Protein backbone atom coordinates (compact mmCIF):
# COMPACT_ATOMS: atom_id res chain seq x y z
CA UNK A 1 0.00 0.00 0.00
CA UNK A 2 1.46 3.34 -1.07
CA UNK A 3 2.32 6.04 1.46
CA UNK A 4 -0.68 8.43 1.08
CA UNK A 5 -3.21 5.62 0.95
CA UNK A 6 -1.69 3.93 4.00
CA UNK A 7 -1.65 7.18 5.97
CA UNK A 8 -5.30 7.98 5.12
CA UNK A 9 -6.41 4.43 5.89
CA UNK A 10 -4.68 4.37 9.26
CA UNK A 11 -5.86 7.88 10.10
CA UNK A 12 -9.43 6.96 9.17
CA UNK A 13 -9.29 3.83 11.30
CA UNK A 14 -7.91 5.85 14.21
CA UNK A 15 -10.69 8.44 13.93
CA UNK A 16 -13.33 5.71 13.86
CA UNK A 17 -11.77 4.02 16.88
CA UNK A 18 -11.67 7.24 18.89
CA UNK A 19 -15.26 8.04 17.90
CA UNK A 20 -16.64 4.64 18.93
CA UNK A 21 -14.53 4.48 22.10
CA UNK A 22 -16.36 7.47 23.54
CA UNK A 23 -13.18 9.39 24.28
CA UNK A 24 -14.72 12.63 23.03
CA UNK A 25 -17.40 13.96 25.36
CA UNK A 26 -19.11 16.11 22.72
CA UNK A 27 -21.77 14.19 20.82
CA UNK A 28 -21.34 16.46 17.82
CA UNK A 29 -17.56 16.02 17.88
CA UNK A 30 -17.79 12.23 18.15
CA UNK A 31 -20.25 11.94 15.26
CA UNK A 32 -18.30 14.28 13.00
CA UNK A 33 -15.06 12.46 13.83
CA UNK A 34 -16.69 9.12 13.01
CA UNK A 35 -18.01 10.40 9.67
CA UNK A 36 -14.67 11.95 8.77
CA UNK A 37 -12.91 8.74 9.83
CA UNK A 38 -15.12 6.63 7.58
CA UNK A 39 -14.50 8.94 4.65
CA UNK A 40 -10.72 8.95 5.21
CA UNK A 41 -10.70 5.16 5.42
CA UNK A 42 -12.65 4.82 2.18
CA UNK A 43 -10.46 7.42 0.45
CA UNK A 44 -7.30 5.65 1.56
CA UNK A 45 -8.59 2.36 0.16
CA UNK A 46 -9.59 4.12 -3.07
CA UNK A 47 -6.04 5.34 -3.53
CA UNK A 48 -4.74 1.83 -2.91
CA UNK A 49 -7.22 0.01 -5.15
CA UNK A 50 -10.13 1.87 -6.69
CA UNK A 51 -12.55 -1.04 -6.74
CA UNK A 52 -11.71 -2.00 -3.15
CA UNK A 53 -12.34 1.60 -2.17
CA UNK A 54 -15.67 1.62 -4.02
CA UNK A 55 -16.60 -1.58 -2.19
CA UNK A 56 -15.69 -0.05 1.20
CA UNK A 57 -17.53 3.19 0.38
CA UNK A 58 -20.74 1.39 -0.55
CA UNK A 59 -20.51 -0.77 2.60
CA UNK A 60 -20.14 2.47 4.57
CA UNK A 61 -23.28 3.74 2.84
CA UNK A 62 -25.13 0.52 3.72
CA UNK A 63 -24.24 0.89 7.39
CA UNK A 64 -25.37 4.50 7.62
CA UNK A 65 -28.60 3.77 5.74
CA UNK A 66 -29.38 0.83 7.99
CA UNK A 67 -28.93 3.00 11.09
CA UNK A 68 -31.19 5.69 9.64
CA UNK A 69 -33.85 3.11 8.75
CA UNK A 70 -33.82 1.70 12.25
CA UNK A 71 -33.87 5.16 13.78
CA UNK A 72 -36.75 6.20 11.53
CA UNK A 73 -38.83 3.48 13.16
CA UNK A 74 -37.56 4.30 16.65
CA UNK A 75 -38.25 8.01 16.21
CA UNK A 76 -41.82 7.33 15.12
CA UNK A 77 -42.31 5.44 18.39
CA UNK A 78 -40.67 7.87 20.77
CA UNK A 79 -36.99 6.98 20.48
CA UNK A 80 -34.30 9.58 19.96
CA UNK A 81 -31.28 9.56 17.70
CA UNK A 82 -27.78 10.10 19.03
CA UNK A 83 -27.35 12.96 16.56
CA UNK A 84 -30.09 15.24 17.86
CA UNK A 85 -27.64 18.03 18.66
CA UNK A 86 -29.71 21.23 18.52
CA UNK A 87 -32.32 22.97 16.39
CA UNK A 88 -30.02 22.95 13.37
CA UNK A 89 -28.75 19.37 13.62
CA UNK A 90 -31.86 17.33 14.44
CA UNK A 91 -31.69 13.90 12.81
CA UNK A 92 -35.11 12.80 14.06
CA UNK A 93 -36.82 15.88 12.65
CA UNK A 94 -35.32 15.16 9.23
CA UNK A 95 -35.75 11.39 9.55
CA UNK A 96 -39.48 11.64 10.30
CA UNK A 97 -40.28 14.46 7.87
CA UNK A 98 -42.41 14.22 4.75
CA UNK A 99 -39.53 12.96 2.57
CA UNK A 100 -38.41 10.33 5.06
CA UNK A 101 -40.67 7.90 3.21
CA UNK A 102 -41.29 7.41 -0.51
CA UNK A 103 -44.42 5.49 -1.52
CA UNK A 104 -44.73 4.24 2.04
CA UNK A 105 -41.17 2.87 2.15
CA UNK A 106 -38.59 4.52 4.43
CA UNK A 107 -36.12 6.43 2.25
CA UNK A 108 -33.26 5.04 4.33
CA UNK A 109 -34.33 1.47 3.48
CA UNK A 110 -34.34 2.34 -0.22
CA UNK A 111 -30.81 3.71 0.24
CA UNK A 112 -29.81 0.49 2.04
CA UNK A 113 -30.97 -1.61 -0.90
CA UNK A 114 -29.31 0.74 -3.38
CA UNK A 115 -25.92 0.63 -1.67
CA UNK A 116 -26.23 -3.14 -1.25
CA UNK A 117 -26.53 -3.37 -5.03
CA UNK A 118 -23.51 -1.12 -5.53
CA UNK A 119 -21.58 -3.23 -3.00
CA UNK A 120 -22.32 -6.37 -5.01
CA UNK A 121 -21.16 -4.73 -8.25
CA UNK A 122 -17.98 -3.43 -6.62
CA UNK A 123 -17.25 -6.88 -5.15
CA UNK A 124 -17.57 -8.48 -8.59
CA UNK A 125 -15.35 -5.82 -10.12
CA UNK A 126 -12.79 -6.34 -7.38
CA UNK A 127 -12.65 -10.13 -7.40
CA UNK A 128 -13.74 -10.85 -10.96
CA UNK A 129 -11.04 -8.82 -12.66
CA UNK A 130 -11.42 -8.59 -16.44
CA UNK A 131 -14.59 -10.69 -16.39
CA UNK A 132 -16.67 -7.80 -15.09
CA UNK A 133 -15.64 -4.91 -17.32
CA UNK A 134 -18.95 -3.08 -16.87
CA UNK A 135 -18.52 -2.66 -13.10
CA UNK A 136 -16.67 0.70 -13.25
CA UNK A 137 -19.30 2.16 -15.55
CA UNK A 138 -22.15 0.98 -13.35
CA UNK A 139 -20.53 2.45 -10.23
CA UNK A 140 -20.14 5.74 -12.10
CA UNK A 141 -23.86 5.69 -13.06
CA UNK A 142 -24.83 4.78 -9.49
CA UNK A 143 -22.68 7.64 -8.22
CA UNK A 144 -24.49 10.07 -10.50
CA UNK A 145 -27.89 8.84 -9.35
CA UNK A 146 -26.93 8.96 -5.67
CA UNK A 147 -25.46 12.46 -6.03
CA UNK A 148 -28.55 13.86 -7.75
CA UNK A 149 -30.82 12.33 -5.14
CA UNK A 150 -28.58 13.61 -2.33
CA UNK A 151 -28.75 17.10 -3.84
CA UNK A 152 -32.55 16.98 -3.80
CA UNK A 153 -32.54 15.83 -0.17
CA UNK A 154 -30.08 18.57 0.79
CA UNK A 155 -32.38 21.19 -0.75
CA UNK A 156 -35.27 19.72 1.22
CA UNK A 157 -33.27 19.86 4.47
CA UNK A 158 -32.49 23.50 3.78
CA UNK A 159 -36.21 24.19 3.36
CA UNK A 160 -36.97 22.22 6.52
CA UNK A 161 -34.41 24.26 8.47
CA UNK A 162 -32.78 21.17 9.97
CA UNK A 163 -29.94 18.82 9.02
CA UNK A 164 -29.11 15.21 9.73
CA UNK A 165 -25.39 14.52 10.16
CA UNK A 166 -25.77 10.92 9.02
CA UNK A 167 -27.68 12.06 5.95
CA UNK A 168 -24.84 14.48 5.18
CA UNK A 169 -22.42 11.57 5.42
CA UNK A 170 -24.49 9.78 2.75
CA UNK A 171 -24.07 12.85 0.53
CA UNK A 172 -20.31 12.37 0.91
CA UNK A 173 -20.64 8.66 0.10
CA UNK A 174 -22.50 9.54 -3.11
CA UNK A 175 -19.86 12.04 -4.21
CA UNK A 176 -17.07 9.58 -3.39
CA UNK A 177 -18.69 6.85 -5.50
CA UNK A 178 -19.21 9.30 -8.34
CA UNK A 179 -15.55 10.32 -8.25
CA UNK A 180 -14.34 6.72 -8.00
CA UNK A 181 -16.56 5.60 -10.86
CA UNK A 182 -15.41 8.46 -13.07
CA UNK A 183 -11.72 7.68 -12.47
CA UNK A 184 -12.23 3.95 -13.01
CA UNK A 185 -14.06 4.57 -16.27
CA UNK A 186 -11.09 6.54 -17.58
CA UNK A 187 -8.82 3.52 -17.00
CA UNK A 188 -11.28 0.81 -17.97
CA UNK A 189 -11.25 -1.24 -21.16
CA UNK A 190 -15.02 -1.26 -21.08
CA UNK A 191 -16.60 0.48 -24.05
CA UNK A 192 -20.16 1.56 -24.44
CA UNK A 193 -22.14 3.16 -27.20
CA UNK A 194 -22.49 6.88 -26.52
CA UNK A 195 -25.99 8.27 -26.72
CA UNK A 196 -28.94 7.18 -24.65
CA UNK A 197 -29.00 6.32 -20.97
CA UNK A 198 -30.30 2.91 -21.98
CA UNK A 199 -27.14 2.32 -23.98
CA UNK A 200 -25.08 3.39 -20.98
CA UNK A 201 -26.56 0.83 -18.59
CA UNK A 202 -27.81 -1.72 -21.07
CA UNK A 203 -24.58 -3.24 -22.39
CA UNK A 204 -23.88 -5.47 -19.40
CA UNK A 205 -23.38 -8.96 -20.79
CA UNK A 206 -21.04 -9.78 -17.90
CA UNK A 207 -23.98 -9.96 -15.48
CA UNK A 208 -22.71 -7.37 -13.03
CA UNK A 209 -25.80 -5.19 -13.35
CA UNK A 210 -28.18 -8.10 -12.83
CA UNK A 211 -26.19 -9.20 -9.79
CA UNK A 212 -26.35 -5.71 -8.33
CA UNK A 213 -30.11 -5.41 -8.89
CA UNK A 214 -30.78 -8.82 -7.35
CA UNK A 215 -28.59 -8.11 -4.32
CA UNK A 216 -30.19 -4.71 -3.81
CA UNK A 217 -33.73 -6.08 -4.05
CA UNK A 218 -32.99 -8.96 -1.68
CA UNK A 219 -31.58 -6.58 0.94
CA UNK A 220 -34.48 -4.18 0.47
CA UNK A 221 -37.07 -6.95 0.88
CA UNK A 222 -35.27 -8.33 3.95
CA UNK A 223 -35.16 -4.84 5.44
CA UNK A 224 -38.85 -4.24 4.75
CA UNK A 225 -39.85 -7.56 6.34
CA UNK A 226 -37.93 -6.68 9.49
CA UNK A 227 -39.18 -3.09 9.49
CA UNK A 228 -42.83 -4.04 9.00
CA UNK A 229 -42.57 -6.68 11.71
CA UNK A 230 -41.27 -4.17 14.23
CA UNK A 231 -43.80 -1.54 13.14
CA UNK A 232 -46.68 -4.01 13.54
CA UNK A 233 -45.41 -4.97 16.99
CA UNK A 234 -45.37 -1.33 18.05
CA UNK A 235 -48.82 -0.63 16.55
CA UNK A 236 -50.31 -3.69 18.25
CA UNK A 237 -48.79 -2.65 21.58
CA UNK A 238 -50.27 0.86 21.26
CA UNK A 239 -53.68 -0.48 20.29
CA UNK A 240 -53.62 -2.81 23.29
CA UNK A 241 -52.82 0.09 25.60
CA UNK A 242 -49.41 -1.23 26.61
CA UNK A 243 -48.05 1.38 29.05
CA UNK A 244 -44.45 0.81 27.93
CA UNK A 245 -45.33 1.46 24.29
CA UNK A 246 -47.48 4.45 25.22
CA UNK A 247 -44.64 5.93 27.29
CA UNK A 248 -42.59 6.21 24.11
CA UNK A 249 -45.05 8.71 22.66
CA UNK A 250 -44.44 11.51 25.15
CA UNK A 251 -41.77 13.04 27.33
CA UNK A 252 -41.48 15.70 30.02
CA UNK A 253 -41.10 19.29 28.93
CA UNK A 254 -38.02 21.33 29.76
CA UNK A 255 -39.77 24.70 29.84
CA UNK A 256 -43.23 26.08 30.53
CA UNK A 257 -46.29 26.45 28.33
CA UNK A 258 -47.69 29.98 28.24
CA UNK A 259 -51.13 30.66 26.73
CA UNK A 260 -52.36 34.23 26.48
CA UNK A 261 -55.84 33.51 25.12
CA UNK A 262 -55.15 34.89 21.65
CA UNK A 263 -54.36 31.47 20.14
CA UNK A 264 -56.51 30.26 17.25
CA UNK A 265 -58.45 27.23 18.50
CA UNK A 266 -59.65 24.30 16.41
CA UNK A 267 -62.30 22.14 18.03
CA UNK A 268 -64.28 22.52 21.23
CA UNK A 269 -62.61 25.06 23.53
CA UNK A 270 -63.95 23.14 26.54
CA UNK A 271 -62.50 19.80 25.38
CA UNK A 272 -60.59 18.13 28.25
CA UNK A 273 -57.46 17.39 26.19
CA UNK A 274 -55.58 20.42 24.92
CA UNK A 275 -52.94 20.22 22.20
CA UNK A 276 -50.73 23.27 21.56
CA UNK A 277 -48.74 23.48 18.34
CA UNK A 278 -45.93 25.83 17.35
CA UNK A 279 -45.53 25.83 13.58
CA UNK A 280 -44.03 27.62 10.58
CA UNK A 281 -46.02 28.04 7.37
CA UNK A 282 -43.00 27.19 5.20
CA UNK A 283 -42.08 24.06 7.18
CA UNK A 284 -42.95 21.04 4.97
CA UNK A 285 -43.57 18.72 7.91
CA UNK A 286 -45.82 21.34 9.52
CA UNK A 287 -47.89 21.32 6.34
CA UNK A 288 -48.29 17.56 6.48
CA UNK A 289 -49.02 17.59 10.21
CA UNK A 290 -51.59 20.37 9.87
CA UNK A 291 -54.04 18.34 7.80
CA UNK A 292 -53.52 15.22 9.95
CA UNK A 293 -54.12 17.10 13.20
CA UNK A 294 -57.29 18.77 11.93
CA UNK A 295 -58.65 15.41 10.78
CA UNK A 296 -57.83 14.03 14.23
CA UNK A 297 -59.76 16.82 15.96
CA UNK A 298 -62.72 16.30 13.61
CA UNK A 299 -62.82 12.64 14.69
CA UNK A 300 -62.09 13.28 18.38
CA UNK A 301 -64.26 16.08 19.81
CA UNK A 302 -62.66 15.62 23.25
CA UNK A 303 -59.37 17.10 21.90
CA UNK A 304 -58.81 20.77 21.08
CA UNK A 305 -55.91 22.28 19.15
CA UNK A 306 -54.39 25.69 19.78
CA UNK A 307 -51.98 27.22 17.28
CA UNK A 308 -48.93 29.39 17.97
CA UNK A 309 -46.35 30.78 15.54
CA UNK A 310 -42.65 30.01 15.34
CA UNK A 311 -41.41 31.26 11.94
CA UNK A 312 -37.87 30.22 11.07
CA UNK A 313 -36.87 33.71 10.01
CA UNK A 314 -34.98 36.49 11.78
CA UNK A 315 -37.49 38.99 10.39
CA UNK A 316 -39.82 38.21 13.30
CA UNK A 317 -37.93 35.58 15.30
CA UNK A 318 -34.99 36.94 17.26
CA UNK A 319 -33.79 33.41 18.09
CA UNK A 320 -33.15 32.49 14.44
CA UNK A 321 -30.07 33.49 12.46
CA UNK A 322 -30.81 34.49 8.89
CA UNK A 323 -33.95 33.92 6.86
CA UNK A 324 -34.35 30.18 6.43
CA UNK A 325 -37.99 30.74 5.48
CA UNK A 326 -38.14 34.20 4.01
CA UNK A 327 -41.96 34.37 3.69
CA UNK A 328 -42.84 32.68 6.98
CA UNK A 329 -43.21 35.88 8.99
CA UNK A 330 -45.50 37.48 6.43
CA UNK A 331 -47.62 34.33 6.33
CA UNK A 332 -47.86 34.29 10.14
CA UNK A 333 -49.01 37.91 10.24
CA UNK A 334 -51.58 37.22 7.52
CA UNK A 335 -52.93 34.25 9.49
CA UNK A 336 -53.24 36.39 12.62
CA UNK A 337 -55.17 39.00 10.66
CA UNK A 338 -57.40 36.34 9.10
CA UNK A 339 -58.19 35.29 12.66
CA UNK A 340 -59.60 38.75 13.34
CA UNK A 341 -62.19 37.98 10.66
CA UNK A 342 -62.83 34.46 11.93
CA UNK A 343 -61.03 32.78 9.01
CA UNK A 344 -57.69 31.80 10.57
CA UNK A 345 -58.02 28.10 9.79
CA UNK A 346 -59.32 28.72 6.27
CA UNK A 347 -56.33 30.84 5.27
CA UNK A 348 -53.82 28.73 7.20
CA UNK A 349 -54.99 25.58 5.38
CA UNK A 350 -54.52 27.32 2.05
CA UNK A 351 -51.03 28.49 2.97
CA UNK A 352 -49.95 25.08 4.26
CA UNK A 353 -51.11 23.53 0.97
CA UNK A 354 -49.20 26.13 -1.08
CA UNK A 355 -45.98 26.50 0.90
CA UNK A 356 -43.91 27.40 -2.16
CA UNK A 357 -46.18 30.35 -2.91
CA UNK A 358 -46.30 32.59 0.15
CA UNK A 359 -45.32 35.98 -1.24
CA UNK A 360 -47.55 38.92 -0.41
CA UNK A 361 -49.21 38.62 -3.82
CA UNK A 362 -49.80 34.89 -3.39
CA UNK A 363 -51.28 35.36 0.09
CA UNK A 364 -53.57 38.10 -1.25
CA UNK A 365 -54.83 35.67 -3.90
CA UNK A 366 -55.52 32.96 -1.30
CA UNK A 367 -57.15 35.49 1.04
CA UNK A 368 -59.66 36.42 -1.67
CA UNK A 369 -60.36 32.72 -2.25
CA UNK A 370 -61.38 32.16 1.38
CA UNK A 371 -63.52 35.30 1.45
CA UNK A 372 -61.45 37.72 3.54
CA UNK A 373 -62.25 41.42 3.43
CA UNK A 374 -59.09 42.69 1.76
CA UNK A 375 -58.91 46.28 2.96
CA UNK A 376 -59.12 45.23 6.61
CA UNK A 377 -56.64 42.43 6.01
CA UNK A 378 -54.08 44.76 4.41
CA UNK A 379 -54.43 47.30 7.24
CA UNK A 380 -53.92 44.58 9.84
CA UNK A 381 -50.86 43.02 8.15
CA UNK A 382 -49.18 46.44 7.99
CA UNK A 383 -50.07 47.25 11.60
CA UNK A 384 -47.75 46.70 14.52
CA UNK A 385 -50.27 44.46 16.31
CA UNK A 386 -49.89 41.57 13.85
CA UNK A 387 -46.09 41.58 14.21
CA UNK A 388 -46.38 41.84 17.99
CA UNK A 389 -48.75 38.85 18.09
CA UNK A 390 -46.26 36.70 16.17
CA UNK A 391 -43.33 37.83 18.30
CA UNK A 392 -45.29 37.09 21.48
CA UNK A 393 -45.73 33.49 20.27
CA UNK A 394 -42.01 33.30 19.55
CA UNK A 395 -41.20 34.43 23.10
CA UNK A 396 -43.62 31.81 24.43
CA UNK A 397 -41.89 29.21 22.25
CA UNK A 398 -38.58 30.11 23.84
CA UNK A 399 -40.08 29.66 27.30
CA UNK A 400 -41.39 26.25 26.20
CA UNK A 401 -37.89 25.34 24.95
CA UNK A 402 -39.05 24.93 21.37
CA UNK A 403 -36.12 24.20 19.03
CA UNK A 404 -37.87 23.50 15.74
CA UNK A 405 -41.23 22.99 14.08
CA UNK A 406 -43.69 21.47 14.43
CA UNK A 407 -43.54 21.32 18.24
CA UNK A 408 -46.57 19.85 20.02
CA UNK A 409 -47.50 19.76 23.70
CA UNK A 410 -50.45 17.92 25.25
CA UNK A 411 -52.31 18.49 28.51
CA UNK A 412 -54.93 16.18 29.96
CA UNK A 413 -53.30 12.77 30.09
CA UNK A 414 -51.27 13.63 33.21
CA UNK A 415 -53.56 16.04 35.01
CA UNK A 416 -52.39 19.62 34.61
CA UNK A 417 -48.90 18.52 33.59
CA UNK A 418 -47.93 19.19 29.98
CA UNK A 419 -46.05 16.56 27.98
CA UNK A 420 -44.29 16.91 24.66
CA UNK A 421 -45.58 14.66 21.87
CA UNK A 422 -44.59 14.00 18.28
CA UNK A 423 -46.88 15.44 15.58
CA UNK A 424 -48.48 12.11 14.65
CA UNK A 425 -52.23 12.03 14.96
CA UNK A 426 -52.48 8.24 15.27
CA UNK A 427 -50.20 8.11 18.29
CA UNK A 428 -51.78 11.12 19.97
CA UNK A 429 -55.19 9.49 19.50
CA UNK A 430 -53.89 6.21 20.96
CA UNK A 431 -52.50 8.05 23.99
CA UNK A 432 -55.73 9.94 24.66
CA UNK A 433 -57.86 6.83 24.11
CA UNK A 434 -55.74 4.83 26.55
CA UNK A 435 -56.11 7.55 29.18
CA UNK A 436 -59.85 7.68 28.65
CA UNK A 437 -60.11 3.92 29.07
CA UNK A 438 -58.34 4.10 32.42
CA UNK A 439 -54.83 2.90 31.49
CA UNK A 440 -52.32 3.99 34.15
CA UNK A 441 -49.86 5.98 32.10
CA UNK A 442 -46.24 6.11 33.32
CA UNK A 443 -44.79 9.43 34.35
CA UNK A 444 -43.21 11.21 31.39
CA UNK A 445 -39.58 10.34 30.84
CA UNK A 446 -37.14 13.25 31.25
CA UNK A 447 -36.46 15.10 28.04
CA UNK A 448 -32.99 14.46 26.68
CA UNK A 449 -31.17 17.80 26.61
CA UNK A 450 -29.74 18.96 23.32
CA UNK A 451 -25.98 18.55 23.29
CA UNK A 452 -23.80 21.52 22.35
Query: What are the pLDDT digits (tens) for 316-340?
Result: 999 887 777 889 999 999 999 999 9
Q: What is the pLDDT of residues 352-390, one digit of tens each?
A: 999 989 999 999 999 999 999 999 999 999 999 999 999
Q: Mean pLDDT over residues 31-53, rounded?
A: 85
Q: What are the backbone dihedrals phi and psi of residue 193, each rounded to the nearest 5 degrees, phi first?
A: -80, 115
Percent of all residues in the chain with a pLDDT value above 70, rounded to a whole number: 88
pLDDT at residue number 384: 96
Q: Is the pLDDT of residue 308 over 90?
A: yes
Q: Is 338 helix (H, G, I), strand (E, B) or coil?
A: helix
Fold entry, domain 49-235:
de novo design (two linked rop proteins) (1.20.1440)
Angle (CA) 126 200 146, round 5°: 65
Other beta carbons within 10 Å of 98: 14
Say what the pTM is: 0.66
Q: Mean pLDDT over residues 103-113, rounded?
A: 89
Q: What is the pLDDT of residues 251-282, one digit of tens each?
A: 899 899 999 999 999 999 999 999 999 999 99
Q: What is the pLDDT of residues 382-438, one digit of tens each?
A: 999 999 999 999 999 999 999 778 899 999 999 999 999 988 888 899 999 999 999
* Dihedral angle computed from the Cα positions of residues 260, 264, 270 and 271, in that order, rounded to the nearest 10 degrees: -120
Q: Is the pLDDT of residue 114 over 80?
A: yes
- Report how far apart the first and last C-alpha atoms of the chain are (Å, whole number): 39
pLDDT band for 188, please (50, 70, 90 cuts).
low
Residues of the chain with CATH 1.20.1440.130: 49-235
Kindly give, in sequence order, each residue whose CB lies less than 8 Å from that of residue 96, ignoring residues fewer than 6 positions away.
72, 75, 76, 285, 422
User: How far is CA 401 from each of CA 256, 310, 354, 425, rounded to the nearest angstrom?
Assistant: 8, 12, 28, 22
pLDDT at residue number 105: 86
Decide: 54 and 180 in contact? Cβ < 8 Å.
yes
How far apart are alpha carbons 349 and 327 in whole angstroms? 16
Q: Mean pLDDT over residues 215-223, rounded?
A: 92
Closest Cα to residue 305, out of 452, 428, 126, 214? 428
Fold entry, domain 244-436:
Glutaredoxin (3.40.30)
Residues of the chain with CATH 3.40.30.10: 244-436
Amino acid sequence: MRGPSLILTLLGGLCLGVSFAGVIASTLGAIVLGIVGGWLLCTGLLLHHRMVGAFATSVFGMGISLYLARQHLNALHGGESICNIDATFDCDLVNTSAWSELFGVPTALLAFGFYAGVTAIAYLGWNGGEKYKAAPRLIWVAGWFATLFSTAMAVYSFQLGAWCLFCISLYVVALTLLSAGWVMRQHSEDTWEHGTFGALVGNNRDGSMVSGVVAGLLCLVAGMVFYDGKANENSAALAAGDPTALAGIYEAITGEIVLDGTEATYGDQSAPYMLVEWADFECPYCGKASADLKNMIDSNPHIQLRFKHYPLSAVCNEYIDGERHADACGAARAAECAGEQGLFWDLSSKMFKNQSYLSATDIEFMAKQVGLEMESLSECIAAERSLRAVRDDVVHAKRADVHGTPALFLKGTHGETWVKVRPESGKITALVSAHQSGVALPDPKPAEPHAH
